[in-house]
Amino acid sequence: MSLLLASLIFYASQTGVPIGVAVGLMLSESGGHLRAVSSTGDLGPWQLNPKYHQYFRETYNGNWQFDEFNAEASSRIALRYLADLHRRLGSWTRALEAYKCGAGRATDMVPMHIKVLCRRIAKEPRYD
């Protein structure tokens, strides 16, 4: 996990994602397990969905190949994606919700337990 943590810290500082937000997201996604696979097929410590592999590669990885189980590459993509969501949505809570539920999902369609979790990760006192 040391390479994962080092990658998280490096890319969080590069993208402006607060370290606590990055750690909270990664732990909520995979518990820090590099080889995690969800029941829906999401992969790696950041639970990136392989059906968006080409989009992530082209948009956030300079068109380089990447492996969702690679600590450095997956951290680079996940934190660039999260920072982009924050720029578009204006709050860490909403960016986390979009990361977890899909960027196209309307705020009122996000399940309450996800809203509560994202608020805790972002350390925001209430949902705005």
Read off the CATH number of the domain in which 57 is found: 1.10.530.10
Residue 113 belongs to a domain:
no
Residue 48 belongs to a domain:
yes
Count how many domains the chain has.
1
Model confidence pLDDT, tens digit, residues 5-49: 999 999 999 999 999 999 999 999 999 999 999 998 889 999 988
Residue 107 belongs to a domain:
no
| CA distances for 45 relative to 18, 35, 124, angstroms | 18, 7, 24
Model confidence pLDDT, tens digit, residues 102-119: 877 777 789 999 999 999
Closest CA to 40 of 117, 101, 120: 101
Q: For the chain, give the mean pLDDT.
A: 88
Residue 120 belongs to a domain:
no
* Predicted local distance difference test score (pLDDT) of residue 63: 62
Residue 98 belongs to a domain:
no
Residue 81 belongs to a domain:
yes
Closest CA to 24 of 105, 77, 125, 92: 92
How far out from the chain centre does Cα 10 lie?
Answer: 15
Q: Is residue 36 within 8 Å of residue 28, measured between CB atoms?
A: no
Q: Which domain holds residue 14?
A: 2-90
| CA distances for 18 relative to 23, 58, 86, 89, angstroms | 9, 24, 11, 16
Residue 96 belongs to a domain:
no
Residue 66 belongs to a domain:
yes
The two tokens of residue 47 are 């639970």
Whether residue 124 is predicted with pLDDT greater than 70 in this model: the reply is: no
Residue 60: how many CB atoms within 10 A of its CB? 20
Alpha carbons 87 and 79: distance in angstroms, whole number: 12
- Please state the pTM of the whole predicted model: 0.88
